[in-house]
Amino acid sequence: MAKARNFLLLLLLTAFTIRVLWLAVEPLLPFVVSGLAIVSVMGFVYYRFTRW
């Protein structure tokens, strides 16, 4: 019984940690996506201009 209780507590703490991390990261997603898009475009342009 103690093992099952510890496992359920671990599951609950894991779910809580994932939820808190999601709440912290979710507002930043638009900035991350737009930053990746800008870096990709700039890298493509740099690659095209510096190619042999």
pLDDT of residue 47: 92
- Tell me the pLDDT tens digit for each residue of 2-49: 999 999 999 999 999 999 999 999 999 999 999 999 999 999 999 999
pLDDT of residue 51: 79
Full 3-state SS string of the chain: CHHHHHHHHHHHHHHHHHHHHHHHHHHHHHHHHHHHHHHHHHHHHHHHHHCC
Tell me the domain boundaries of the chain: 1-26
